[in-house]
Amino acid sequence: MKRNLAVACLAGLVVGALVMAAGCAETKGPAATAPAAAAAKAADGWTVVYTSDFTGSGKLPAAWQALAGEAKIEGGALVLTAPSDEGQVVLLEPRCPGSVRLECVASLKGDPISDISPFVNADTSGYNSGYLFQFGGKANTINCLCRYDDHIAATEKDKPLIKAGQKYRVLAENDGGRLRLVIDGQEIFQYTDPEPLKGQTHDRVGFYTYGCTLVVEKLIVSTKPAKAAGK
């Protein structure tokens, strides 16, 4: 009798452990597949609001809109092709109306090549309504910042230039009006706008290229509250 009772108790413990394990597995499942953007906050005050590895293939996700050129998802990347003219793609959601940081890995295909150029604080009309961070602009001859499509001369640099097929780590940032472009960890230019673009008409980010194919991977978009901006 005591042996049967012991066996029954042991069986109960095993079943309970299995139930608890199953419950934990069910709890972890959705969390594991949730976007990394969920409340991911860095020590410097930036909060990740959007990430994408561009898995799958085919048409753009609903969060994106191609403004010019042809855009698709292919091979784990956002591929924007502008065979003979401008190509633009804009992220519709989430909105980023103030301080915003865009990070990605990007490369160009084609001959000639021009522009691995992210933009921030724009509207749905594209780069000429916000800040355009040109890397390899003007047929791969210049790096500079454009505000409302106007070049800011103080930011113009003639190096580094883009090599076709080479992948670059790109960071474009508006931190409370302090704007900078960083390529592979090297700051290319920095500029402080005394009247920074912000608000509901300056809340979109995206990418621009010209006359070639831009390949964007591992995208991260972060924002910072106004009170923390510039710190």
Give CATH for domain 40-228: 2.60.120.200
194's CB contacts (< 8 A; 6+ apart) are 177
With bands split at pLDDT 50, 70 and 90, how would you rate the model's confidence at 200? very high
Between the alpha carbon of residue 46 and those of residues 118, 173, 216, the distances in Å are 18, 11, 22
pLDDT digits (tens, 9 = 90+) for 202-211: 999 999 999 9
Average pLDDT of the segment spanning 35-45? 54
In this prediction the pTM is 0.81
**Over the stretch 72-128, which tens digit does the pLDDT of each residue have?**
999 999 999 998 899 999 999 999 999 999 999 999 999 999 999 999 999 999 999
What confidence score (pLDDT) does residue 43 get? 57
Residue 36 has pLDDT above 80, yes or no: no
115-167 pLDDT, tens digit each? 999 999 999 999 999 999 999 999 999 999 999 999 999 999 999 999 999 99
Average per-residue pLDDT in the chain?
85
pLDDT at res. 44? 84
> Phi and psi at residue 4, in whole multiples of 5°?
-65, -40
Residue 107, token pair as written in the block: 């490369």
Higher per-residue pLDDT: 10 or 215: 215
- Higher pLDDT residue, 34 or 98? 98
Q: Where do the structural domains in the chain lie, given as residue ranges?
A: 1-34, 40-228
pLDDT for res 57: 87
List CB contacts of 185: < 8 A, sequence separation 6 or more: 169
